[in-house]
Amino acid sequence: MSSMKTQLHMALERNSWLQKRIEDLEEERDFLRCQLDKFISSAKVDAVKDADGVLCRYKKILNTFQKLKSMSRAFEHHRVDRNTVALTTPIAELLIVAPEKLAEVGEFDPSKERLLEYSRRCFLALDDETLKKVQALKKSKLLLPITYRFKR
C-alpha cells in the first residue's frame, strides 16, 4: 500500500512538473511569436512607385555595395531582387549622369504607364556619350556595375 502511495505521489509530482514545463514553453513560444511578428512587420518594404523612389533605392543599394563590396549582399540587405534593380537602373543612371535628358524622356505618369515602360524610355534616351560616362562611373564603383535588361 505504501509503495502505491509513493508511486501516486511521484506521478503527481511528475505531472505537476510537466504542467509547469508546458506553461514555460507556451510562454516562450508566445514571446518568440511576438518577436517574429515585430521583425516581419518592420521588414516589409514599400514598393517603389516613381522615379524619385527608384533613385533613392538605387543610392541606398549603391552605398551599401560600396561598403560591403558585394552586390548580392547589398540587394539582400535591402531585401530587393537583383532583377528589380536591373530593370529600373536606367532611370537612376539617367537621373545621376544626365538629368538634363529627363526633359527629353518626359515625366513619369503612373496612371498612363508602368515604371518598367518608363525605364525602357530612359534606356532609349541614353546616347553613346552618356553610356560612356555611365560605364566609366561603373568601373570606378561610383555606380552599380549592373547590366541592363533591355536591348536596343
User: Within this chain, do residues 80 and 35 fall inside the same structural domain, yes or no?
Assistant: no
User: Within this chain, do residues 22 and 59 fall inside the same structural domain, yes or no?
Assistant: no
Residue 146 is assigned to a structural domain of this protein: no
* Residues 119-149 pLDDT 10s: 999 999 888 899 999 999 999 989 999 887 7
* Residues 6-41 pLDDT 10s: 999 999 999 999 999 999 999 999 899 888 887 776
Domain that holds residue 83: 51-139
pLDDT of residue 51: 87
Residue from 86, 85, 126 nearest 102 by CA: 126
pTM (2 d.p.): 0.69
Q: Which residue's entry shows cell 549622369?
A: 97
Residue 99 is assigned to a structural domain of this protein: yes
User: Within this chain, do residues 7 and 56 fall inside the same structural domain, yes or no?
Assistant: no
Give the lowest-confidence range in 55-59, 63-67, 145-149: 145-149
Q: Report the distance separating Cα 61 and Cα 42, nearest Å.
A: 18
User: Within this chain, do residues 79 and 128 fall inside the same structural domain, yes or no?
Assistant: yes
User: Within this chain, do residues 59 and 24 fall inside the same structural domain, yes or no?
Assistant: no
Residue 96 is assigned to a structural domain of this protein: yes
pLDDT exceeds cutoff 70 at 45: no
User: Within this chain, do residues 68 and 104 fall inside the same structural domain, yes or no?
Assistant: yes
Q: Report the distance separating Cα 44 and Cα 39, nearest Å.
A: 9
User: Within this chain, do residues 25 and 87 fall inside the same structural domain, yes or no?
Assistant: no
pLDDT of residue 152: 66
Q: Report the distance separating Cα 53 and Cα 51, nearest Å.
A: 5
- Number of domains composing the chain: 2
Are 84 and 117 spatial neighbours (Cβ–Cβ below 8 Å)?
no
Residue 109 is assigned to a structural domain of this protein: yes
Mention every residue, 6+ apart, whose C-beta is less than 8 A from residue 116. 87, 88
User: Within this chain, do residues 39 and 57 fall inside the same structural domain, yes or no?
Assistant: no
